[in-house]
Amino acid sequence: MNKWVILTILLCLLLPYKAFADAAVGEMIVTLGENLSTEQKNMILSEMKAPKDVEVLTVTNAEEHEYLGDYIASRLIGTKAISSSAITLEEKGTGLKLESKNINWVTDEMYINALATAGVKDATVYVTAPIPVSGTAALTGVIKAYELSSDKKIPEDVKQAANEEMVKTAKLGDEIGTEEASALVTKIKENMAENPPANTEEVRNVVESSAKELGISLNDAQIQSLIDLFNKLKELNIDWNAVGDQLTAAKDKLSHFLESEEGQSFLDKLKEVFSSLIDAIKSLFN
């Protein structure tokens, strides 16, 4: 075989690998919704402070339905892809940081939790849209960009689980409060990292004890929904210690929640319960 042909083949094999392998700290990749107008795309790129040569991926409405269709109604996903994101790789050990704009249902902590579940590591993420949206579709784009930038393929079942986690946490937030829902999911993950559950009953114990630690009251349906979710995650053999390492921002939010007026209110109520219990015991002896 001609030596130039051999050289060409070798280059074709090596160049794609090099493009992925050279993904460096500080490199940004952008995802734009397929149905954005040219003006909206330019506005979002400017908002992201994206460099002129930034790599841009397109996210389609079909992809959004693929990953969200089992968890929320099709009408809520809609027929247009407009959510966009930027992901920038950071130094190892940095953890996940996220900022969002025009997202009115999924909180930053919910994104961080879901991305950590998916295996996304050490990155700064920006999620945005030209108009207020729920934000559920943005996760698809962020994961897509991370796979390209890090050259790490995330298994499809893990992607599905991350989307399910995000939606279930947002729905729980509608019922018990967004901060409470985000704090609870973070606490469950912390406890699973410390004592990995071996079966469904142990998953139940982690869910219930985590809620009790935070003073969050859950009904049977909410408990079962969380058990189903974390039981599924357990079956995926997720490294909970690695997940925990990425949750610095979410853990900070959890600490702030416990120090907040709302969190302190719970602690005061707990003190009242014990005080009443002690008084009741004293009355028995009187």
* Final residue in a domain of this structure, among 155, 180, 195: 155
- Does 171 lie in the same domain as 146? no
- Does 130 lie in the same domain as 76? yes
Is the predicted pLDDT of residue 11 greater than 50, yes or no?
no
- Contact indicator for 146, 89 with CB cutoff of 8 Å: no
- Does 149 lie in the same domain as 41? yes
Q: Is residue 19 part of a domain?
A: no
* Final residue in a domain of this structure, among 127, 155, 183: 155
- Does 137 lie in the same domain as 111? yes
In our burial notation (b when 16+ CB lie closer than 10 A, e otherwise), range 215-233 reads ebebeeebeebbbebbbbb
* Final residue in a domain of this structure, among 155, 173, 191: 155
Tell me the pLDDT band of 246, cut-offs 50, 70 and 90.
confident
Q: Is residue 144 part of a domain?
A: yes
Lowest mean pLDDT, pick from 15-29, 141-155, 183-197: 15-29
- Does 226 lie in the same domain as 142? no
Q: Is residue 209 part of a domain?
A: yes
Q: Is residue 8 part of a domain?
A: no
- Does 53 lie in the same domain as 140? yes
Tell me the pLDDT band of 275, cut-offs 50, 70 and 90.
low
Number of domains the chain is built from: 2
Phi and psi dihedrals of 125, rounded to 5? -120, 140
Q: Which amino acid is at 176?
A: I
How far apart, in whole angstroms, are the C-alpha atoms of residue 82 and residue 68? 15
How far apart, in whole angstroms, are the C-alpha atoms of residue 49 and residue 111? 21
Is the predicted pLDDT of residue 18 greater than 80, yes or no?
no
- Does 49 lie in the same domain as 149? yes
10 Å Cβ neighbour count for 89?
Answer: 20
How far apart, in whole angstroms, are the C-alpha atoms of residue 112 and residue 252? 12
- Contact indicator for 150, 131 with CB cutoff of 8 Å: no
- Does 105 lie in the same domain as 167? no
Q: Is residue 87 part of a domain?
A: yes
Q: Is residue 227 part of a domain?
A: yes
- Does 129 lie in the same domain as 42? yes
- Does 142 lie in the same domain as 46? yes
Q: Is residue 264 part of a domain?
A: yes
Lowest mean pLDDT, pick from 17-21, 238-242, 270-274: 17-21
Residue 59: give the domain boundaries.
27-155
- Does 145 lie in the same domain as 168? no
Q: Is residue 280 part of a domain?
A: no
Predicted pLDDT at 80: 94
- Does 208 lie in the same domain as 250? yes
